[in-house]
């Protein structure tokens, strides 16, 4: 085997990587009520962020803006170098969204829902069918695949919506309170799914009220308060959930 000359082994000086999701000075107002005020947030490729914040603090609004659903009055939002809202279609192709609205057709079966959304993403044929079967199994719905979604519990529909969000193998996952309505077993399944998605290199931004999970699962925690990111912390710096709960109480009081 050839050995490398010293010049070939020398590492070039690394520039800090550009954030995959970058919001600068973002302002969003509803009916003269400012919800986001000059908000700045940088999320690196492969990071897993949990976003905490009180009800009505603007978390869902922020997620929707990043998903290209809605328009900010001020500031810039870039996702993977694409500018929103101008290049929203490019961004959406890279992004899976699990929102409060589960975006499922009640009268279609679980499998039919996934087939429908596959076609929207231009996924067809054997590869698409194989991915659908694998995802149904992964979210524990293989045995209910042929039942209409209207017969599903909230937790089952939530799991199907997570499978839908993963169909097109997105680089980015946005999840808005994905643990709501899940029982212990389904929540543990979601923990595992998110851990896998993170290990696979996907970038994740998850809104949650689960302080204990936020202290444990993600790579970073942020708190939204008074329209801006009022607190950011890497997971290594969080000693335990009680500490994070105390910071949350301080920042949101």
Q: Which residues sit at the interface with Mg ion, rule CB under 5 A? A: 60
In the complex, the smallest distance separating the C-beta of residue 58 from ligand ADP, rounded to whole angstroms, is: 4
In the complex, the smallest distance separating the C-beta of residue 178 from ligand ADP, rounded to whole angstroms, is: 13
The stretch near ligand ADP (CB under 6 A) out of 29-37, 85-93, 155-163, 235-243 is 29-37
Nearest to residue 29, comparing CAs of 63, 69, 74, 83? Answer: 74
Give CA–CA dist 108/55, Å, rounded: 32
Q: Which lies closer to Mg ion via its Cβ, residue 141 or residue 175?
A: 175
HSE (side-chain half, CA atoms, 13 Å) at 9: 5
Would you tell me how many other CB atoms lie within 10 Å of the CB of residue 90?
16
What is the separation of C-alpha 177 from the centre of its chain, rounded to a whole number of angstroms?
10
Measured between its terminal Cα atoms, the distance across the chain in Å is: 63
Calculate the dihedral angle through the C-alpha atoms of 201, 202, 207, 211, rounding to the nearest 10 degrees.
-20
In the complex, the smallest distance separating the C-beta of residue 10 from ligand ADP, rounded to whole angstroms, is: 48
Give CA–CA dist 244/239, Å, rounded: 8
Q: Which lies closer to Mg ion via its Cβ, residue 29 or residue 60?
A: 60
Give CA–CA dist 187/62, Å, rounded: 24
In the complex, the smallest distance separating the C-beta of residue 232 from ligand ADP, rounded to whole angstroms, is: 17
Does 98 engage in binding with ligand ADP (CB under 6 A)?
no
Per DSSP, 106 falls in state T
Q: Which lies closer to ligand ADP via its Cβ, residue 30 or residue 116?
A: 30
Site map (CB under 6 A) of ligand ADP, residues 32-71, x = contact: ---x-----------------x-xxxxxxx----------
- The answer to whether 138 touches 165, Cβ cutoff 8 Å, is no
Q: Which lies closer to ligand ADP via its Cβ, residue 59 or residue 78?
A: 59
Give CA–CA dist 220/138, Å, rounded: 26
- Residue 168 contact among Mg ion, ligand ADP, none, beta carbon within 5 to 8 Å by kind: none
SS3 156: helix
In the complex, the smallest distance separating the C-beta of residue 177 from ligand ADP, rounded to whole angstroms, is: 8
Q: Which lies closer to ligand ADP via its Cβ, residue 35 or residue 128?
A: 35
Q: Which residues contact 196 (CB under 8 A, 6 or more apart)?
A: none
How many residues bind ligand ADP (CB under 6 A)? The answer is 11
Q: Which lies closer to ligand ADP via its Cβ, residue 61 or residue 158?
A: 61
In the complex, the smallest distance separating the C-beta of residue 187 from ligand ADP, rounded to whole angstroms, is: 20
In the complex, the smallest distance separating the C-beta of residue 158 from ligand ADP, rounded to whole angstroms, is: 17
Rule CB under 6 A: which residues touch ligand ADP? 30-31, 35, 53, 55-61
């Amino acid at each position: 085997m050839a050995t490398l000359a010293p010049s070939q082994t020398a590492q070039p000086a690394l520039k800090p990587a550009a954030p995959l999701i970058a919001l600068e000075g973002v302002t969003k107002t509803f009916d003269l009520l400012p919800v986001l005020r000059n908000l700045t947030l940088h999320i690196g490729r492969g990071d897993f962020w949990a976003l905490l914040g009180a009800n009505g603090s603007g978390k869902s609004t922020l997620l929707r803006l990043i998903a290209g659903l809605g328009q900010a009055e001020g500031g810039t939002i870039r996702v993977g170098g694409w500018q929103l809202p101008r290049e929203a279609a490019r961004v959406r192709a890279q992004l899976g969204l699990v929102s409060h609205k589960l975006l499922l057709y009640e009268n279609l079966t679980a499998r039919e829902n996934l087939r429908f959304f596959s076609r929207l993403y231009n996924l067809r044929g054997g590869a698409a069918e194989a991915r659908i079967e694998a995802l149904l199994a992964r979210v524990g719905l293989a045995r209910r695949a042929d039942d209409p979604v209207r017969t599903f519990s909230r937790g089952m529909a939530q799991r199907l919506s997570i499978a839908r969000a993963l169909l097109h193998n997105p680089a980015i996952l946005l999840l808005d309170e994905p643990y709501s309505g899940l029982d212990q077993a389904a929540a543990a399944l979601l923990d595992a799914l998110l851990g896998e998605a993170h290990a696979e290199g996907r970038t994740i931004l998850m809104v949650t009220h689960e302080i204990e999970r936020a202290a444990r699962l993600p790579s970073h925690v942020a708190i939204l308060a008074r329209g801006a990111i009022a607190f950011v912390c890497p997971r290594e710096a969080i000693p335990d959930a009680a500490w994070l709960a105390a910071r949350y109480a301080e920042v949101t009081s």
